[in-house]
Structure 1
Amino acid sequence: MLFIVLPLPCVSNSRYTTVESFKQLVTALGFKLEQEQWRPRGKVAYWLFRWRSTTEDVVKFKRKKILNDGPTRNNFTILIE
């Protein structure tokens, strides 16, 4: 099991990461989403993943890609080396 807690603005107000792209990244690493909890105007997001032992291609997570542009966005991102 993998339990992740992040400040919600890390994924909701980032240039490079969205809630969906974050879930795709963790899924590509070999985990399956079991449970997720966050509110649109909340401060914290929670995810619970279970190991499923089959990984996918993570090439698209090796470079930054702007998903949401704007002057008020933060620069939070997760890259795979």
Structure 2
Amino acid sequence: MTRLDVGDGFDVHEYRHGLKLLKQDRETMALENRNDFACPACGDAFERLFVSEKRENTFGNPGGPFCLVRTDDQVLVLTHG
């Protein structure tokens, strides 16, 4: 299982072969993990990935465990089943 590398920020294009874009606007995107990528925080497979460049975000109930990862420019929220 390949772990997402966020050491120099997160570049979705490096993982586009296994992530399906679900929703995108100017500062955020939601993706589905279709390739069993591993979470950069805990190392387990994740289901969905939310990437944001916004300073503030509001989330509903993710329905299960989640991890947060902060890069210099982004916040990543990864949900687990």
Question: TM-score w.r.t. structure 2 length?
Answer: 0.28
Structure with the higher fraction of residues in strand conformation:
2
Question: TM-score w.r.t. structure 1 length?
Answer: 0.28
Q: Comparing both chains, which one has the higher relative contact order based on Cα–Cα distances under 8 Å and sequence gaps of 6 or more?
A: 1
From the CA coordinates, give the structure whose radius of gyration is larger. 1
Structure with the higher fraction of residues in helix conformation:
1
